[in-house]
Structure 1
Amino acid sequence: MTIVSILRSATLAAALLASTAVIASAKDVTISVWSGGSGPNDNYRVDAIEIAADLLEREAAIRGEELNITVQKTPYSGWEEFKQALTLAAEAKKAPNIVATGHEDIGPWAQAGLIVPVEDYIDLDSWPINDIYPNLMEIASFNGTVYGIPQDAESRPFFFWKPHMKAIGYSDAEIDTLPAKVENGEYTLKNVLEDAKKMQDKGLVQPGYGFYPRTSNGPDYWQFYTSFGGLMEEDGKLVFDKAAMQRAYQYFADLVAAGVTKKNHIGMPGDQWWKEVATGKAGIWHGGTWHYARLVNQEGLKDFFDNVQFTLIPAGEGGKANTLTHPLTYLLMAGHDQETTQIAADLVKLASEPRINALHAIKSAHLGISETETKVDLYSADRWASEATERLLPHANAMPNNAEFGKYWTIMWKNLEASWTGAKTVEAAVNDTETELKATLGNSIVIR
């Protein structure tokens, strides 16, 4: 054999070995991500994982590795549908790799073994995780273990229809200073009822439209309990402040008695509610920061700032102005092999980078998860994001990540609705709440 043929054979063998090595190192992986409560403005809850997958593939290529990631995205608009589908998938051992869900699921899901701690897969001291607001990371934890990474933040303000406020005697300057008056306790929930009644008495809105609450159960209603001085948890134990809860129940009974909120308001069609608050058919209402996106994009309220003022939830007797933040968190589901779960965790980490997260924050009108994100041009140039972040987030509290909180919530809501509709007196409703909490939670809750 000539030297040329020897060299040719060696070159061919080397090429074959290199080809085999590439094939051997190539990895194909499918990552599924589900999100709850996600409408048309919330696509980046799942799309961010897809963006992260592209980056992770490119990083692998630079290291000389071939990584092919297929992201299967499943957004659910409804929470009940999402939770039911996830339960069935987990039982069938077909749970997705990543879910974006409310932080209150962390406690019960961790105890049930449905999720694994994200801190086992991500260095929490590395960027961008170490830049996420500490209080959000705390909300994503349970029993001292970090299970999730905040996917977004938000707050839940009160909204006032400016033309109606002017019609009942408020000047432009007074409307401009309303947020500060709410913050310092000068404008309270009592004033909300009074102004709602004035709007109706002037014929600006129909009876029952003066104050237009959320139409279904939700975290929002805990803000009223807080406004009247209630605590949800203290020193790791749930707390039921009977007097504060009675004041909260009484407030909704008073709204109905004054005719500014309908007795049968709960359960009304959501699309009807949205159209009415977007067109001035309602005078004062409460909702979330993400409402801005729907009001402007889907409901056509392009001149939002000319028509709407927003504030913290005003204080009630015994409490202070506040707002509730209900961050969605990325969680890693159990039941997958370590390597795939590590890739899922890497995607969550990448998706948390400021510019990627800002895409979701601005499109969906949520709030950023880090200080750096507020400096991203897309975010800092957005009036709603900037004003809502400054006005609301410093005063935000959150529901506790307590595995028993769901039971508390169910009992609280059932009796609030009963006193609202008149099925029970306020006194009976609060007494029944106490009785049920004692029977259901025992020593897991402190009764005051």
Structure 2
Amino acid sequence: MTIFKTGTTALVTAALLGGAATGILTAAPALAQETVQLEIWSRQDVSGPLRAGNVVKAADMLNAALEEEGSDVRVEVVVRESPAQGFDDDALALLRAFGIGEGPDMFIAAHEWICAFQQDGFALKLDDYIEKYPEHFGTIFPSLWDSTRCPDGIYGIPQDAEARMFFYNKKLLREAGFDEDFITAMPERTLAGDLTMDEVIDIAKQVVDNTDAEYGILHRPNVGPDFSMVFGAYGNDFVDPETGNLLINREDLTAAFGWFERAVNEGVIPANNTSMDWDAIRADFYANENSAFWKYGIWDLGSYAFPTFGLPDDEEGFFADWGWIAVPAAEKGGQPSTLTHPIIYGVAADTEHPDLVVRLLGYASDAELNTDHAVTTTHIGIRPEQLEDPRYQEAWPLARATQLLEIAKYLPNEPQFADLNRILYTAIQGVESGRLTAEDAAEFVIDEAEGNLDNVIIE
């Protein structure tokens, strides 16, 4: 056991539940007659340490409020850290902990898992609490609440947001023959529904044909949320709004696979993209300028583009030679989009102190604390008032990308979507390698879903 002390806060770590660590962080005044320990489950996530850290800080804020109210109760926060490598594995570990009665009072999870906790009776419905505490939750972006919603209500509190887009290299577009007016107009044309998904392929092909760039479009090389951007552009929401069950539309699915098929056939997406290395992909786009487009997320600028590959980190310098567009519509006049993937706070259904937990998470969602997280991890904030913070304005990728929340889409809050997403990725690999046509890929996904998943609706 190791104890770290900083001021009035102590951190105790110990092995728990197969390698998880527990930290007791205490800021309760000595005169309190009752100290309530509230436990939060969090991944050991270097990309977001303040997701749990802000809850620890919020304990001081809640205790100050309780003291002002004349209450004898004070809270201290216990952080239980999971060593899970990703949010899917972490959610499964947490579900097992709840299943054996070892669940925490609150937890951090990727939003698409919240209804798994709701269905198993492990998550507290929050609609009444959100209405009760408008001072904490009233200004959170309305669209973000959709990411925490199950068929019968809200079960989570948005902790952050993000935006995923097509980054592009303006220097390569100029070299390929596109004039400055065309290049400058691309973002607004996209938002207006004028620039389409197929036009992205056309632009990328012109770059490949007329420059030394080897690639037109690069995407992540492993399974992940990003591919939902393309599927969403072609109408695939993957969830039935009435039942909350997974829904697959054969026509829309085929159309989305058709985009990947055309991109590979045109020599734009490399056939081996799914077997490439992350570092090599980033280097090809940012450093080697070997691709016109890179389909990924806003955090990549602060995490890699600026510190690792030396792209200009000032707004004017970046947009002189680089840019991004939202995910275009499939057809002219259609709706562009972005994919956002909020991480959320959940509250255990059986916590003994639901009101205290919700208030604690309300303070953790304070604009200043959330901006601390946003600017240090290049994630988008949860409140419009954060746009007024000089730190947020200085972190210009966040300020610029926040506008995309108005057209944001989400992964389905359906427990089986992670399994469906792996099936979709396998089909993409088949299409890009030439083993499957778009039609074959759609049939493969439908067959696998019907054979391995429950209650899937096929249209």
Are 1:156 and 1:312, in contact at CA under 8 Å, matched by a contact in 2? yes
Unaligned runs of 5+ in 1: 1-20
In structure 1, C-alpha distance between the alignment counterparts of 2:434 and 2:120, rounded to whole Å: 38
Distance 1:352 1:24, change over 3 A: closer
1:57 corresponds in structure 2 to 63
In structure 2, C-alpha distance between the alignment counterparts of 1:290 and 1:127, rounded to whole Å: 29
1:308 aligned to which of 316, 319, 322: 322
RMSD: 3.0
In structure 2, C-alpha distance between the alignment counterparts of 1:311 and 1:445, rounded to whole Å: 33
1:31 corresponds in structure 2 to 39
2:154 corresponds in structure 1 to 146
Are 2:55 and 2:364, in contact at CA under 8 Å, matched by a contact in 1? yes
Which residue type is aligned with residue 34 of structure 1? S
2:291 aligned to which of 265, 272, 282: 282
1:104 aligned to which of 100, 112, 116: 112
Are 1:119 and 1:146, in contact at CA under 8 Å, matched by a contact in 2? yes
Greater Cα shift, 375-384 or 320-329: 375-384
1:5 corresponds in structure 2 to none
Deviations 1:11-48 (A, max 9, x none): xxxxxxxxxx9767141625334048x444x2221221
1:180 aligned to which of 185, 188, 191: 188
Q: Does 1:370 align with 2:383?
A: yes
Distance 1:234 1:33, change over 3 A: closer
TM-score, structure 2 as length reference: 0.81
Are 1:35 and 1:99, in contact at CA under 8 Å, matched by a contact in 2? no
In structure 2, C-alpha distance between the alignment counterparts of 1:231 and 1:78, rounded to whole Å: 23
In structure 2, C-alpha distance between the alignment counterparts of 1:395 and 1:30, rounded to whole Å: 36
The alpha-carbon deviation at position 442 of structure 1 amounts to: 7.2
Which residue type is aligned with residue 268 of structure 2? V
Q: Does 1:221 align with 2:238?
A: no
Using the aligned pairs only, state the percent identity.
25
Greater Cα shift, 149-158 or 289-298: 289-298
Which residue type is aligned with residue 74 of structure 1? E
Are 1:323 and 1:397, in contact at CA under 8 Å, matched by a contact in 2? yes
Q: Does 1:411 align with 2:418?
A: no
In structure 2, C-alpha distance between the alignment counterparts of 1:128 and 1:64, rounded to whole Å: 20
Deviations 1:333-376 (A, max 9, x none): 355x413x544332211011111112222222222212223233
1:16 corresponds in structure 2 to none
Greater Cα shift, 347-356 or 392-401: 392-401
Deviations 1:218-253 (A, max 9, x none): 222122122224343354254322222112112212
The alpha-carbon deviation at position 413 of structure 1 amounts to: 3.1
In structure 2, C-alpha distance between the alignment counterparts of 1:306 and 1:77, rounded to whole Å: 37
Aligned residues: 420
Greater Cα shift, 49-58 or 87-96: 87-96
Are 2:39 and 2:104, in contact at CA under 8 Å, matched by a contact in 1? yes
Are 2:285 and 2:294, in contact at CA under 8 Å, matched by a contact in 1? yes
2:9 corresponds in structure 1 to none
Query: For 1:285, what is the secondary structure of its paired residue?
Result: strand
Are 1:231 and 1:241, in contact at CA under 8 Å, matched by a contact in 2? no
Which residue type is aligned with residue 301 of structure 1? L
The alpha-carbon deviation at position 406 of structure 1 amounts to: 4.1
Query: For 1:310, what is the secondary structure of its paired residue?
Result: strand
Are 1:101 and 1:329, in contact at CA under 8 Å, matched by a contact in 2? yes
1:262 corresponds in structure 2 to 270
In structure 2, C-alpha distance between the alignment counterparts of 1:66 and 1:359, rounded to whole Å: 28
1:47 aligned to which of 47, 53, 60: 53
1:74 aligned to which of 59, 74, 81: 81
2:363 aligned to which of 350, 355, 358: 350
In structure 2, C-alpha distance between the alignment counterparts of 1:141 and 1:229, rounded to whole Å: 20
Which residue type is aligned with residue 55 of structure 1? M
Which residue type is aligned with residue 299 of structure 2? W
In structure 2, C-alpha distance between the alignment counterparts of 1:50 and 1:233, rounded to whole Å: 36
Are 2:91 and 2:109, in contact at CA under 8 Å, matched by a contact in 1? no
Query: For 2:164, what is the secondary structure of its paired residue?
Result: coil
The structure with the greater share of residues assigned to strand is 2
Query: For 1:32, what is the secondary structure of its paired residue?
Result: strand
2:443 aligned to which of 409, 431, 439: 431
In structure 1, C-alpha distance between the alignment counterparts of 2:168 and 2:226, rounded to whole Å: 17
